[in-house]
Each structure stands twice: as structure tokens, then as C-alpha cells.
Structure 1
Amino acid sequence: MTDFATPEQIAHRTNAAKEAAVAAGRDLGLEITEGKVLYELFSVVVHLAPAPVVARIPTVLPHTTTPDDLTRRQQQELDVAQWLHDQGTPVIPPSPLVPRRPVRRDGFSITFWPFTEEDKGSEPDYVRNSELTADLHKALRDYPGELDFLSSAEPRFVTEGLDRLEPDVVDPADVRRAKKEWQVLEPLISDESEFRKAFPGVDVQPIHGDSPPANIFASTNGPLFSDFELITKGPVEWDLGGLGPELEAAYDRGAARNA
């Protein structure tokens, strides 16, 4: 059975990521007296104080993600965020104080973003965020950069993950059913041509890849799209999965406004 990280291991990993970000930032010429961890879950987010720069360091990744894969995705994220910013879309863009590229340091791959003040008095408004997601999709339609098709689905990780399930974790009958259903789904999300054959009336375009309504940052200057780590190409419906009728209706209102 897979072992889970202990609190001590997580704390060690977080501190190692913070120290790597501080060292990388100093190498890039930033004045840094301390690294302040702002967030830790799948990534560690560190304010490189007093510089107005935040480092984001992915620390929990699928075992199928290689360092080169991660660097490539991070570069795509930086490029998309900068392009959206240049078009006037409200996003958190890459930091202008360092080169727009990922930096590898001590086993981590790090990207740099401007420190952005959070409106801590605001509650998440997922209805509003879902409506705003239609604006993001409209802005992304014209993105000229190269993106993979539904890479955020991680098909290889799913395939290998199903093979790794142990009988004392999941009932073998459920694993067999999941594998049978995955055999139908896997070609459709791994191959754009297969998807288009199965769904000929569905448009494909650049999408956020990771539930944009949950990744809108409430800044003191208003909501900002953020966290394009899973930027990909696919149907806009991919970004809406699991939202439910109320939030889907909010998205539809935004889409109708942009029609």
C-alpha cells in the first residue's frame, strides 16, 4: 500500500522548497531577507520578502511527470499568463523582475510571480467565478501558442494508477469495472483526432485545465485568473466538470453575454 507523508516529512519538504526558492531568487538578483511560506498543498508558494515576488514550487506530482515534462508545462503556463496579461485579461502574470522561465534548483522547478495582495475579507463567490470563466474561455480562443490535447487528464497516470490499486484498498470487481470504462475513455482523451471523431460538433480550444472557478484569486484590485499549471487544449466543458446546475447556469450567462 502507498505510504502517506508524515507531518514531519511534509514540513521538511516545504522547508527544502522554500530554501531552494530563496537561493534561486538570490541567484537571479532579487534582494531577499527571508522566504515566507504563504501556502502549501500540492505546491509550496513562497513570498521572497521583501522583493515583490512570489515563487511557486510544485512538490506533489504524478509519478509519471518527469523533470522535463514539468519544465515544459511551467513554460507553457508562464507564456499563457503573459499573453493573457498582454491582451488585457485580468490575470496574475509572471514576475517582470526575473526572466520568464522555470528555474531548477535542488531538485525543484520554480516559477516566479508578482506578490499580489489578497482581499482576505471576501468570501469565495463561485457563481460569479463561473460566469467569469466564460470570459477566460473567450480570451483563450485566440492564444497562438502550442498546447497538448487534454494533457491535464494525465492518461498515463490513470492507466498506471489503476494497475497499482491493491485488492485490500479497492474491491477487485470495482477495479475491473473501472478498467473496462477507462478502455473506452482513454483513447478519447489521449488523441484529439479520436475525440473529434466521437464528438464532431464539439469545439476544441485552449482551456485552463483545472477548474478555473476555483482558481480565481481575490485580489484587492478585483478577481484575477491564476494557476495555469494544467493549461491544455480541449472542450470548454472540461473546465466545468463537477460544477453542478447552478454554476453551469452562471457560466451559460457569461457565455451568452460574450456571444
Structure 2
Amino acid sequence: MADYVTEGDVARRSAAAVDAAVGAGRALGVEVAQARVLHDLFSVVVHLAPSPVVARVPTVLPGSTGPEELGRRQRAELDVAAWLAGRGVPVVDPSPLVPREPVLRDGFSMTFWRFWEEDRGRGPDYAAQARETAVLHAALEGYPGRLPFLGAVGPGAVEEAFGVLEGCPELLGATDLERARREWAVLGPVVRSRAVFEEVFPGVRVRPVHGDSPPANVFRGVGGDRFADFELVSLGPVEWDLAGLDPELVAAYDGGARREGLRVLDGRVLGFVNAVGMLCVLSALALVPRMPSLGRYLVPAVRGWRESPFAGGVDLGR
């Protein structure tokens, strides 16, 4: 059984991230009278009040996401969000008050964003957000920067997580882990290689995608909704951004795609990304010892996976 952090450990880690954000912000000339934590899960998100600046400080990352990989992801996120904002796409954009680049401080690598007031009286409309994801895809079509293929699945991250889970049978038993590894042996080669993907799914074009379920990453602002959290932006099929969603949300996206002149979702590709996404969920169990609260979100998904067909029942035709 792995060693688990305590609530006190988590509180100290979060406090250190806040202190780093405040120190970095002030060093960049940002006025900070009060640091207000807006969100704290994989990252600590801090409003550096009274300035209209928000710092996002990653605190829980897979071991395979080292400083170089994290910096690459952060630079890509800042660049894509700024590029979209410059074209009038409603996104949470980088702060114009500091340089548009990751900042290192006290062992943390952080990014700075414009503060937008949240509309706390309005709940999510996931169907509308799925439809608007087609608008986002249409806008991303022209992004000129270089992005990795399916970069949301970090290099070696799944294999590393399964290695960690060998020592955590309370999180994933030996039988489950053996099945997960067999599924990854089938799906992994398609994830790692754009050429293999295009061989398996001929005619399905790879293009810039958000990378992390944009229908679930919409900030509900006082002035309207804005897409957020482009941390995993990459190249892939549009289906990647709709993985794991209910059929009615898939249908909502298809409606938006027709409106934007995009293709509707391919059922075979959707089955593939759903199966890969499920293995990513399993690999996230390896982070539970460092973030115990994560377990309550993941355990129900594991039960559903056990009842599902092997590798999602996807025929890769190879």
C-alpha cells in the first residue's frame, strides 16, 4: 500500500503554491493585497486581488510530466488561448499585465490569466456547451503552431501509472491491472503514433483539439461563457474532445458540427477514444495517494469499466 498524504500535507502544499503565486506576481509588478483561492484540485488557481490577474499553479502531476514537458504544455496553452482570443473566440485568455510565458517560483511553474467574474447564479448547460465545442473546433482549424499528436496522453504516463498501481492493490487489484495492461497493449500503439492512427482510421483527419473535454471546461462568466483550460491542447480527431459523454451530448455536438460545416462524429473513432479515456481514468488512480479526494470521483468509473467490453469492444482492424 502506498503512503498517502494527509489533509495537513495538502493544506501545506496549497499554501506554498499560493505563496509562490503571490511572490511571482509581485515580482512581475502585479499589485496583490489579497490572494483568493478560486479552485484547488490538480492546480491551485489564485486570484491576485485587487488586480485582474489569476495565477494557475499545477501541484499534482504524473511523474512523467517533468519540468520540460510541463513548460511545453504551458507555453502551448498560453499561445493557443491568446491566438483564439485574438480572433474573437470567447476564452479565458492570458493576462496582458505580465509576460505570456510560464514563471518558475519556489519549485512551481505557473501561468497568469485574465480575471473574469464568475456568474454563480447560473448552472452549466452541457448540451449547449457541446454544441459550442463545434464552434471552438472550427476556430482551432487555422491554428498555425506546432502541437503533439494526442498530447493529452503524456509520453509514458499510462505505463508509469500502471507501475505505481502495482503497489496500490487497494486502488486497483491485480486482476484489474492485468486487464488494463492488456487493453493498453492494444490501444497504446494507436495513441502513440499519428501514422498508425491514420492507418487504422483512414479518412479521419487529425487537427488541433482542446484535449480535455471542452464541454466540461467552460467558465460561466458574468458576460457569457468562455472556454478554459487548454493545458492538454494537441492534435487529434475531434472525437477526442467528446470522449466519455452521454449520447445526447454527442448528438448536441453533431448538431453544432452541421451548423459549422464540420463532419459529425465517427462512431468507431468515438469508441476508440472512449476506451483510451477510460484507461486514462484508471491511470489517474496512481495520483490518489497524493490527492486522496480524487478517489471518490474515480472509483465509480472503475466499476463501470469492469462491466464494459474489453478495450471498449473496439475493432481496430489491424
Given the alignment, which residue of 207, 210, 213 partners 2:209? 207
**Are 2:121 and 1:121 equivalent residues in the alignment?**
yes
RMSD: 1.2
Identical positions, percent: 56
Residue 197 of structure 1 corresponds to 199
Q: State the Cα distance separating 1:200 from its structure 2 match.
A: 1.0
Residue 229 of structure 1 corresponds to 231
Q: Which deviates more, 158-167 or 10-19?
A: 158-167
The secondary structure found in structure 2 opposite 1:151 is coil
Residue 187 of structure 1 corresponds to 189
Q: Which amino acid aligns with 1:14?
A: S
Cα deviation, 1:44-95, whole Å, max 9, x if unaligned, reads 0111111110100011111111111111110000000000001111111100
Q: Distance in 1 between matches of 2:43 and 2:186?
A: 32
Show structure 2 runs of 5+ residues with no match.
262-318
The secondary structure found in structure 1 opposite 2:156 is helix
Residue 96 of structure 1 corresponds to 96
**Are 2:47 and 1:47 equivalent residues in the alignment?**
yes
Q: Which amino acid aligns with 2:64?
A: T
Q: TM-score, normalised by structure 2?
A: 0.79
Q: State the Cα distance separating 1:127 from its structure 2 match.
A: 0.7
Q: In 2, are the aligned partners of 1:127 and 1:247 still within 8 Å (CA)? A: yes
Q: Distance in 1 between matches of 2:14 and 2:76?
A: 24
Residue 31 of structure 1 corresponds to 31
Q: Which amino acid aligns with 2:8?
A: E
Cα deviation, 1:147-171, whole Å, max 9, x if unaligned, reads 0000102251111222332373333
Q: TM-score, normalised by structure 1?
A: 0.97
Q: In 1, are the aligned partners of 2:54 and 2:114 still within 8 Å (CA)? A: yes
Q: How does 1:1-259 map to 2 (within 5 A)?
A: 1-166=1-166, 168-169=169-170, 170-259=172-261
Residue 278 of structure 2 corresponds to none
Q: State the Cα distance separating 1:176 from its structure 2 match.
A: 2.1
Q: State the Cα distance separating 1:180 from its structure 2 match.
A: 1.5
Show structure 1 runs of 5+ residues with no match.
none
Q: State the Cα distance separating 1:4 from its structure 2 match.
A: 2.8
Cα deviation, 1:128-161, whole Å, max 9, x if unaligned, reads 1111111111111110000000010225111122
Cα deviation, 1:191-249, whole Å, max 9, x if unaligned, reads 11111111112111000110100101000111101110111110010110111111001
Q: Which amino acid aligns with 1:16?
A: A
Q: State the Cα distance separating 1:2 from its structure 2 match.
A: 2.5
Q: Which deviates more, 109-118 or 31-40?
A: 31-40
**Where does structure 1 differ by over 6 angstroms across 4 or more consecutive aligned residues?**
none
The secondary structure found in structure 2 opposite 1:228 is coil
